[in-house]
Amino acid sequence: MSEQPLPTLPMSRVDHIEPSPEMLALRANGPIHRVSFPSGHQGWWVTGYDEARAVLSDAAFRPAGMPPAAFTPDSVILGSPGWLVSHDGGEHARLRTIVAPAFNDRRVKLLAQQLEAIAAQLFETLAAQPQPADLRRHLSFPLPAMVISALMGVLYEDHALFAGRSDEVMTHQHESGPRSASRLAWEELRAYIRGKMRNKRQDPGDNLLTDLLAAVDQGKATEEEAIRLAASMLVAGHESTAAQIEYGLLAMFRHPQQRECLVGDPSLVDKAVEEILRMYPPGAGWDAS
């Protein structure tokens, strides 16, 4: 009697804001499942809350960088020097220290003020559009692009370049195959950041690229690490924020009673944001972790 084929990750969602039916069916049959990956390798998928908590709190399961080459033969960003999510422990702490100045209290307060001003301007523009308006064009895409531009110290006019490359870099990261377009976009993004970072020698400022250049000069990071740190923050910061805005709004439409509660009591906004982040996290278009 032949064995049943294993479920394969990632599982695409029929409805991007809800878990895939296949994932829900597996979870109903237990908290731990044997699965296969696009590379043909096999592994374990933990879907139970208590079991996932136990795994994530156990150092034996923490990532130590890039998986074996045969496991992700054409990965564009996973395991790259400076890609924070590919490292843990001391290496992760070292990389975080390099970017820490960009997120000190003074900088974060200033960035929060800039964000509020940008958001108010975008909401005003959105409200002036013929209804129904394009949320992505007028809010969810430009808002994170403007904020990440301010954080990094680059012109907002460059957003079309880096946002487009960012989008391509993240396309099909969890699939097998050559991903030539993603690889080209990653190289172009790194070249863009390399040039902008080197320009900070003549035009330094209170921004991430200036901080990274200082870290290179002080021997705390190689230039390649600094470039990839900036690139990874740009990719993750723009893509995840744009998606989160869209998922959050969709969640409000899907749950009108919750929306009415929030409209009636704006003091609930912080709790609402936390709940949206919990229920509809960035990367919610597929089930893989």
Share of the chain above pLDDT 70, in %: 85
The C-alpha atoms of residue 78 and residue 67 are separated, in whole angstroms, by: 9
The average confidence (pLDDT) of the chain is 83
Mean pLDDT of 45-67: 79
Residue 72 has what pLDDT?
Answer: 47
Residue 269 has what pLDDT?
Answer: 93
For 80, the token pair is 């790259």
Mean pLDDT of 111-120: 93
Q: Where are any strands of DSSP class E within the chain?
A: 11-12, 32-36, 42-46, 286-287
User: Does the structure show a pLDDT above 80 at 67?
Assistant: no
For 41, the token pair is 């390798």
Rounded to 5 degrees, what are φ and ψ at 43?
Answer: -160, -170
Residue 178 has what pLDDT?
Answer: 54
Mean pLDDT of 215-241: 87
Mean pLDDT of 12-40: 84
Mean pLDDT of 71-100: 70
Mean pLDDT of 246-254: 88
Residue 287 has what pLDDT?
Answer: 55
Residue 272 has what pLDDT?
Answer: 92
Highest mean pLDDT among 7-11, 29-33, 54-58: 29-33
Pairing of strands 32-36, 42-46: antiparallel
User: Does the structure show a pLDDT above 50 at 127?
Assistant: yes
Residue 74 has what pLDDT?
Answer: 46
User: Does the structure show a pLDDT above 70 at 112?
Assistant: yes
Residue 234 has what pLDDT?
Answer: 82
Residue 233 has what pLDDT?
Answer: 83
What pTM, to 2 d.p., does this model score? 0.77
Residue with tokens 């870099």, as numbered in its chain: 169
Cα dist. 163→80, 158, 183, 207, 212 in Å? 20, 8, 15, 19, 21
Q: What angle (nearest 5°) sits at the alpha carbon of residue 15, between those of residues 14 and 19?
A: 85
Confidence of residue 179 (pLDDT cuts 50, 70, 90): low
Answer for the pair 77, 173: CB distance below 8 angstroms, yes or no.
yes
Highest mean pLDDT among 106-110, 276-280, 284-288: 106-110
Name the least confident of 38-42, 80-84, 88-92, 233-237: 80-84
Mean pLDDT of 185-190: 86
User: Does the structure show a pLDDT above 50 at 289?
Assistant: no
Mean pLDDT of 12-32: 84
Half-sphere exposure at residue 263, Cβ-oriented, CA atoms within 13 angstroms: 8
Mean pLDDT of 233-242: 81
Residue 215 has what pLDDT?
Answer: 93
